[in-house]
Structure 1
Amino acid sequence: MATGTLLYSQSGGVTAVINATASGVIAEARARKVKVLAARNGILGALREELVDTSKESAAAIRALAHTPGGAFGSCRYKLKSVEADRAKYERLLAVFKAHDVRWFLYNGGNDSADTANKVSKLAAEFGYPLTCIGVPKTIDNDLAVTDCCPGFGSAAKYTAVSVREAALDVAAMAETSTKVFVYEAMGRHAGWLAAAAGLAGKGADDAPHLILFPERPYDEADFLKQVKKVVARVGYCVVVASEGIQTADGRFVADSGGGKDSFGHTQLGGVASYLAGKVKDELGFKVHWTLPDYLQRSARHLASKTDVDQALAVGKAAVQFALKGQNATMPVIVRTADKPYRWKIGSAPLDKVANHEKKFPASFIRRDGYGITDKARTYLEPLIRGEAPPPYGKDGIPTYVTLKNVAVKKKLPKWGG
C-alpha cells in the first residue's frame, strides 16, 4: 500500500466533464487505498490550506460526480508566475504539502496549470521533497499541445453543433417575413476549435452554419458583409458562427468588452455576435438575431458527448496510476489510433512539452474561402461529439446532480498572508 496523501485541484474555467475526471481520480485512488484531499477553489485553496477530505464522501456521491457539471471543489483563475518571481508562494505550497503528507499533486487544468505543476515539481526536487506532480488535461478550447483532444471540448462541441442546427431550423422557418441573419458567438480566444465544431451542424453547401469566423484568419469586415449578402440571396437566410477571439489584420480584437484583464493577462472578451449583428443590420438592412451562449457551452452536461465523458474519466484514472508509478512532471494524454472506426488510448507526455504551448486550429482544417471547415476537419471533429451520456432525471424533470459535503481538513500552518 502506498503511503502519503494525494492532493487534487481544479483550475481555470470548468467544463461539463471536469467532475468526471475528479470522479476517476478519487475512485482509482480509493481502489489503491490512497487518501485524496482536494483544494478548495483551485490553487488558492492549496495556498490558504483550505483542503477537503474526499474520504468523507460516499461512493455513490463520487460516482454521481461523473454526471454533474461545474467544479465540485471550486476552481479559480489564479496564475503563479515564475519560481523566481513567486518563490514565497511556491514555498508556501511545499509547506502545505509537507504539513499534510502530500506526496502526489494532481493539477486538473489547461496550459498554465501544466506549467504550474511542472514548476512545483522542480521546486520540490530542489528542496529534496518527494513529490510527484501530474498535470491532468481539461479545456473546452481544445488548445493543449500533444494530446489529440482535450476532455471538455467534445461536450462543448456537441452543444455548439446541436444548438446551431436547432437555431438554424428556427431561422429557416421565419426567414420569409422576419429574421434573415442569425449570429452565434462561440468561445475561443486564440484557437477556433469550438467555432469550427459548429460546422458539424450541416454538411451541404447551403446548410447552416453558412459562415464561420475563425481567430486564425483576420476579420475582413467588407468581405464578411459581402458574403452574408450572397448567402441570403442564395439560401434566403444566413447563419453565422463567430469565435469570440476574431481579430482584424492589425491584431485588434473585434470585441473587446473593456472589462480590463484577468490574472493571466487576458483581455476580457465578449460581444462579437452583438457587434456583427449591428453591422449586418446597419449595412445590409436585414433583421438580425444573435446569441452569446457563454457559460452554457461549457456547463451543458445534459448534452454531453459520451466520448468526452469516457475520456475525462480515463485521464483521471490514468493520472493516479502515473502518480503512483512516480512518473513525475507528466500528463496523461489522448492518443488517436484510428479514424474509421474511431479508436483512442491513453498515452503520456512530459509537462514541459505541454505547458504554454498553444495548439491552434490547423490551416488544413479551414475551407479555402476561409469561412468553413474541410472534410479533414470533419473527420477529426465528428468522433469527439459522438454518443450520449445523459444524467439521471428526477420526477421534477430536472437532472439529479450531486453537491459534495466538502468536509474541511484541520489546518496545521499559520494563516497565509497572500
Structure 2
Amino acid sequence: MSTRARKTAPTGTLLYAQSGGVTAVINATASAVIETARARKVRVLAARNGILGALREELIDTGKESAAAIRALAHTPGGAFGSCRVKLKSLEEDRAKYERLLEVFRAHDVRYFLYNGGNDSADTALKVSRLAAEFDYPLTCIGVPKTVDNDLAVTDCCPGFGSAAKYTAVSVREAALDVAAMADTSTKVFVYEAMGRHAGWLAAAAGLAGQSLDDAPHIILFPERVYDEAAFFAKVKATVERVGYCVVVASEGIRSADGGFVADAGAGKDSFGHTQLGGVASHLAGRVKDALGYKVHWTLPDYLQRSARHLASKTDLEQALAVGRKAVEFALAGMNSVMPVIVRTADAPYRWKIEAAPLTKVANHEKTMPASFIRKDGFGITPAARRYLEPLVRGEAPPPFGRDGLPKYVVLKNQAVRKRLPDWIG
C-alpha cells in the first residue's frame, strides 16, 4: 500500500461508481464525493450502472449538475447513477475486461477510481489497482464502504446498515402493536423476514424493538445458528401461551443442520454467484400453521429495508457522508488500494472516526455476528449486541417534504460524456 502524498495540485479525473444493492444513504456518499472533489477543482465522472458503465464507456458528467442537485443527493435514496450486480473474476480469467477498464481510464484521463460497494467491489478495486501498476498507469483506487448487511471486515459498521436497522426495529415494533391488538381473535404469530445471507446483523437489529423477554420480537433466527425446527416450534408455542402472541424475525439466510438454506428460491445463482434466496417468512408461516394450528401472518419487506430514506438514521447519514469525503481526501493524497473505514472509539457517549484500511484486509473477508451478541438460547440478542447496535440507529435525518405530503427527492440529468473508444462487446 502506497501512502506517499502528492506534493503537486491534483491532476486528472475522478471516476465514481456504485455497486451492488443500493442503500438509503449511498447517494449521500456520492454527494460528499462530488462536493469534496469540486472543492479541490477535480472533475468527477460517474459510471452509469456501476462497473458496466465503465466497461461500456457510459460515463456521466457530474459537472452538469447544479450544486443544489448534488446537495439533494444526500437525502435521496436509490442509486443516482445506477448500480449493478456484476463481479469481475480474477485478473487471469477476466483480463480482457480489466484491460478494457484501463483503456477507458486512459481515454478520459481517469487518475482516481472510487468504487462504492461491498466485499466484491473492494476486491475489484484492488485488482484494478494491481493491473494499473503492472501497466505503469498512474491510478489510485479507493474502495468506499456500503452494505445493508453490515458484513464488511475491518470497519466497525457500514454505511447503509444503520438506516436499514432503524427501519427494521421500527417496523417490528409497530407491527407487534398491531398483532397484540388482534391476537385474541385473529393472528397469533407474525413472521418478519430480514435481509442477511450469512450474517444476522439486520435480524439482530430487530431486537432493539423490545427490552424484555415478553417484548417483540420474541424470537430471532440468525444464520450464525443452525435452524432447529422442533426447538423453534416449542419456543413459538410457549410464547403464545405466555404472552398471547408471538413475533418472529428470521434472517433470509438461516440454514438447517445439513447446511442447506431453509428458504431457497430455486432460481439458481445471481450474478455474484450467490444462491438466490427468498421466502423464508412464508415457509416458516406455513410450517407453524400446519404444526401448531395458529393463524399466522408474514411479511417480506425486501427492498423497503434498504430504500426507506424517510426513516434514515442520523448516525448512518453522517457516516455515509464522512466516508465519501475521506475517500476523496485519501485518493488525492495518493493513498492507493485503501478503504475509509469507521473506527468506534467509545460506546457511551458514542464516538467514532475514519481511518484508512488496506483493501487486502477488506476484500472477500466477511464479518459475521460475534457469538457474544447472540443469546445462549439462540433466539435473541445480548446486552453486548444492544450496546453495539443502539448508537447506529440513533437520530433522525428526514428528507424535506413537499406540499403533496411526499418526500422531495432529486433526479439527476445524468448527461453522458462523448465516447472516445470503439463500443465494448462483452
What is the TM-score of this pair, normalised by structure 1? 1.00
Shift of 1:338: 0.3
Give the letter aligned to residue 340 of structure 1: A
Q: Which residue of 1 aligns with 2:4?
A: none
- Is residue 297 of structure 1 aligned with residue 297 of structure 2? no
Shift of 1:249: 1.0
Q: Which residue of 2 aligns with 1:196?
A: 204
Aligned residue pairs, count = 418
Q: Which residue of 2 aligns with 1:116?
A: 124
Distance across 1 between alignment mates of 2:97 and 2:111: 18
Superposition pairs of residues 187-266 of structure 1, within 5 angstroms:
187-266=195-274
Q: Which residue of 1 aligns with 2:44?
A: 36
Shift of 1:376: 0.2
Distance across 2 between alignment mates of 1:228 and 1:294: 24
Q: What SS does structure 2 have at the residue aligned with 1:231?
A: helix
Distance across 2 between alignment mates of 1:87 and 1:252: 34
Q: Which residue of 2 aligns with 1:361?
A: 369
Alignment RMSD, CA only? 0.4
Greater than 4 Å deviation, 4+ residue runs: none
Distance across 2 between alignment mates of 1:406 and 1:23: 14
Distance across 1 between alignment mates of 2:31 and 2:348: 30
Deviation string for 1:146-198 (max 9, x for gaps)?
A: 00000000000000000000000000000011000000000000000000000
Distance across 1 between alignment mates of 2:94 and 2:213: 53
Distance across 2 between alignment mates of 1:125 and 1:165: 51
Q: Which residue of 1 aligns with 2:409?
A: 401
Give the letter aligned to residue 63 of structure 1: R
Q: In structure 2, which of residues 317, 320, 323 is the aligned counterpart of residue 312 of structure 1?
A: 320
Distance across 2 between alignment mates of 1:362 and 1:5: 41
- Is residue 380 of structure 1 aligned with residue 388 of structure 2? yes
Distance across 1 between alignment mates of 2:348 and 2:57: 48
- Is residue 18 of structure 1 aligned with residue 26 of structure 2? yes
Q: What SS does structure 2 have at the residue aligned with 1:405?
A: coil
Unmatched runs of 5 consecutive residues or more in structure 1: none
- Is residue 147 of structure 1 aligned with residue 188 of structure 2? no
Shift of 1:259: 1.1
Q: What SS does structure 2 have at the residue aligned with 1:251?
A: coil
Q: In structure 2, which of residues 95, 118, 133 is the aligned counterpart of residue 125 of structure 1?
A: 133
Shift of 1:263: 1.4
Superposition pairs of residues 8-87 of structure 1, within 5 angstroms:
8-87=16-95
Q: In structure 2, which of residues 143, 152, 164 is the aligned counterpart of residue 156 of structure 1?
A: 164
Report percent identity of matched pairs: 83
Q: Which residue of 2 aligns with 1:274?
A: 282
Q: What SS does structure 2 have at the residue aligned with 1:310?
A: helix
Unmatched runs of 5 consecutive residues or more in structure 2: 1-8
Distance across 1 between alignment mates of 2:333 and 2:398: 34
Give the letter aligned to residue 120 of structure 2: D
Q: In structure 2, which of residues 403, 406, 425 is the aligned counterpart of residue 417 of structure 1?
A: 425
Give the letter aligned to residue 287 of structure 2: K
Distance across 2 between alignment mates of 1:144 and 1:271: 25
Q: 258-267 vs 291-300, which deviates more? A: 258-267
Shift of 1:290: 0.3
Distance across 1 between alignment mates of 2:110 and 2:146: 23
